[in-house]
Chain A
């Protein structure tokens, strides 16, 4: 009897303790039905939330305590998963308290299966992780900031590289042209060095750009049909000169099983192989460099190709084998001094291979040689008619007779350079300095192909192309866009505008030639008469000496010396340069006034960027400096209005001076 009493009271106190634990446990507890309706919760949770229990029970559903994102998530993911597996562990939710502040909670749920007459219910335990949440948020923020900073740096790098490419375009173009003019021996050597260095600079800038694009994940793999044998033939042709110069053999060894037609990104493959073969030749003084390709794992539709580039060069010390793939690291400082290069090629190759889910491996022995090895899986192409690589056609002779090209670019210098090439290849062309002008020309003349700059004021390249496509022309021309944009042209956008192809600036004459050839080749199968890549020497025309004198003013607001040089003794070019610059300067002054009146730093920056080349060509340093000073003043929070007014006046004086000067000249 006494024993039973004791047991009862023990039981009661145990139950009390259990209830007490449930109600005051250090975690929240809530029970809900299938429709989410809460039918019980413990005191801890009701205290946390700031509700009385009776304000919640049978009145509020569990998801309605979440913010909207949480509600959607609960419905689409959380609850279905509970139903599927009967429990869920530690999922984070923002839980809204009565006072609308947030409880950061981890929720565990378990299903209480139906029994007797009781339908299925769910019991959730909630842990308050606010402290942890704050720490994690701080960490996340720091991580985001670090990532944003790194992205900003990558973008800065990319922008700067592009900025460098634009003037480089002119340097390369002029260098190419200069090289082909009659020069004495010394001058010829200078021109060669100029060309060589600017090509080197371009490849450096291109590498930086590639790397920043890869880092910014802006590079995607193309899937196109290509001919592997064409690709290797071109590689062999490209490198044969260099190999011969150094007296080493260049061997390409492709196993019989390797299929000719594949689907994949041949541009990236070419880039990887170019890097590896280029390096191999660079670091090999005698012996040979070889590219071997073998096929394994061949099935009906896919093939795995193993590529090996081996050399008998200086080799890589063991301890450097890992670091050679890092940015800007060559095996040693001396290496970079002796052999040149940026040390970016391997990094880029490795990253391009990562895009292919592949890796680049290296084995090397000092003073014996190195082997670089990678594998890529390609689907086989059934399209055995895949286009013959146009580079192979270059060695053939070709004539562009009766091929009509329209050149559209708002920058007269770019037009001038492109015109020189077109002249040399005997391509018939007309030039327009705006989209509108191009449309007018198209109404009167037939063109086979349009070379179209994308970034033009008023009507940009995209708009121009769309308008061209809307015209009912007898013959719809091919449109090739060219641009040095920082954003990179989006294929869809180009396609949507009806643009057929794209040539990034700065381009080498060879690239322009190739693209002309490609489209000419597809439209005609012309008889071949001249050898175009051997750019014909510009015939020296004995034009009378230029009468236009450099305009000299007190501190010389500008002069035309640069244009005179570029015009190459052709007064008509000089006039064209002068007048187009005049138009540009007049519009820049308007833009300037607008930016100042509206107090818009961004507009002024845009103007400064836009006008850089024009001001450079006419050597308008004072104006260029003054514009930058205005920007500085404008960017300050507490603007010095007096100083600003003074500088604006000076700018306007310079503008007037240049405009009058250009008119008079």
Chain B
């Protein structure tokens, strides 16, 4: 059995904020908990903020990763439940970006008693078009993306870290900020990409009982509007809100707008 201390370390759990009601922020693919840095401060005064890194991302314990275990999103959703139980969280407001939205959906189906609300940012139950369903990608696109990752040639699998030295016009760029750059283990990222982009969770949406807010950027190459609409239609008790933001990461590109939408819902 893993000891309590282990779980904190394995998932690099950080707890912030002055409130008691827990908000669990789950980062998306290729990122780590730093992707929330502009968003969570909006909730610090009223909520208990829980940040963590999935195994393979950020400062998580890479040795806890195994190919066999993490071959589906289910394993990631079990990690969410583990974290909630370990921290003895109740009435959790789950905020999940991108693939984490589906991870949250799966976790809420398995343990609905833990969650009070799901905030899904840019969710997609399936990225690949299928008959009438528009996922935004052709199978060939996804294959190409996976091949790109496999070829190990894209910048994110190389050492892409911020440079502190010789940047005198930006004195604020201290070590702390440098550390806020999202990191992810390239090998694990490859497998995570496979699990993410080949997943099909459309059938699971019907099973969600926890109320959901779906946030969708006006322009998002990864999860187009139709996907947000499909998700909203499939989940009972869900609200779709189109954000005045462009890009797949409104939490980075338009944190104020995103925070406002979440606050309005809560």
Interface contact B155-A73, CB-CB below 8 Å = yes
Contact with B along A475-497 (1 / 0, CB 8 A): 00000000000000010110000
* In the complex, B226 has a CB within 8 A of chain A: no
Interface contact B170-A85, CB-CB below 8 Å = yes
Task: Please report whether the interface of chain A is mostly helix, strand, loop or mixed according to DSSP.
Answer: helix
Interface contact A223-B155, CB-CB below 8 Å = no
Given contacts A69-B149, A72-B30, A94-B148, contact A78 B155 (CB under 8 A): yes
Interface contact B167-A85, CB-CB below 8 Å = yes
With most chain B CB atoms within 10 A of its CB, the pick from A73, A80, A86, A493 is A80
Contact with A along B220-236 (1 / 0, CB 8 A): 01100000000000000
Query: In B126-177, which residues have CB < 8 Å from any A CB?
Result: 137, 141, 144-145, 148-149, 151-156, 158, 160, 162-163, 167, 169-170, 173, 177
Interface contact A69-B148, CB-CB below 8 Å = yes
Task: Please report whether the interface of chain B is mostly helix, strand, loop or mixed according to DSSP.
Answer: loop
Interface contact A75-B247, CB-CB below 8 Å = yes
Interface size of A in residues (CB-CB distance below 8 Å): 33
With most chain A CB atoms within 10 A of its CB, the pick from B69, B137, B155, B181 is B155
Nearest chain B CB to A95 CB, angstrom units: 13
Interface contact B248-A72, CB-CB below 8 Å = yes
Given contacts A77-B30, A81-B160, A85-B162, contact A68 B145 (CB under 8 A): yes
Contacts of A122 in B (CB 8 A): none
- Tell me, in angstroms, the Cα distance from A78 to B246 when the chains sit together: 16
Nearest chain A CB to B114 CB, angstrom units: 22
Query: In B4-36, which residues have CB < 8 Å from any A CB?
Result: 6, 28, 30-31, 35
* In the complex, B66 has a CB within 8 A of chain A: yes
Nearest chain A CB to B92 CB, angstrom units: 25
Query: In A372-413, which residues have CB < 8 Å from any B CB?
Result: none
Interface contact A84-B141, CB-CB below 8 Å = no
Given contacts A84-B181, A86-B167, contact A140 B160 (CB under 8 A): no
Interface size of B in residues (CB-CB distance below 8 Å): 43
Nearest chain A CB to B4 CB, angstrom units: 12
Interface contact B145-A86, CB-CB below 8 Å = no
Interface contact B182-A77, CB-CB below 8 Å = yes
Query: In B72-115, which residues have CB < 8 Å from any A CB?
Result: none
Nearest chain B CB to A124 CB, angstrom units: 14
Contacts of B173 in A (CB 8 A): 84-85
* In the complex, B118 has a CB within 8 A of chain A: no
- Tell me, in angstroms, the Cα distance from A63 to B222 when the chains sit together: 13
Interface contact B148-A490, CB-CB below 8 Å = no
Given contacts A69-B154, A94-B148, contact A76 B248 (CB under 8 A): yes
Interface contact A71-B221, CB-CB below 8 Å = yes
Residue of A nearest to B150 (CB): A144
Contacts of B154 in A (CB 8 A): 69-70, 73, 92-93
22 residue pairs bridging A and B, Cβ less than 8 Å apart: A63-B221, A68-B145, A69-B144, A71-B221, A72-B30, A73-B155, A73-B156, A76-B35, A77-B160, A77-B182, A81-B162, A84-B178, A85-B173, A92-B153, A92-B154, A133-B153, A136-B153, A137-B153, A220-B63, A220-B66, A490-B69, A492-B69
Could you list 6 further interchain pairs (A-B, Cβ under 8 angstroms) beyond the known A69-B144, A69-B148, A80-B182? A35-B246, A70-B154, A72-B221, A81-B162, A84-B173, A492-B68
Q: Which A residues lie at the B interface, using CB under 8 A?
A: 35, 63, 67-73, 75-78, 80-81, 84-86, 89, 91-94, 133, 136-137, 140, 220-221, 223, 490, 492-493
Q: Which B residues lie at the A interface, using CB under 8 A?
A: 2, 6, 28, 30-31, 35, 63, 66, 68-69, 137, 141, 144-145, 148-149, 151-156, 158, 160, 162-163, 167, 169-170, 173, 177-178, 180-182, 221-222, 246-249, 252-253
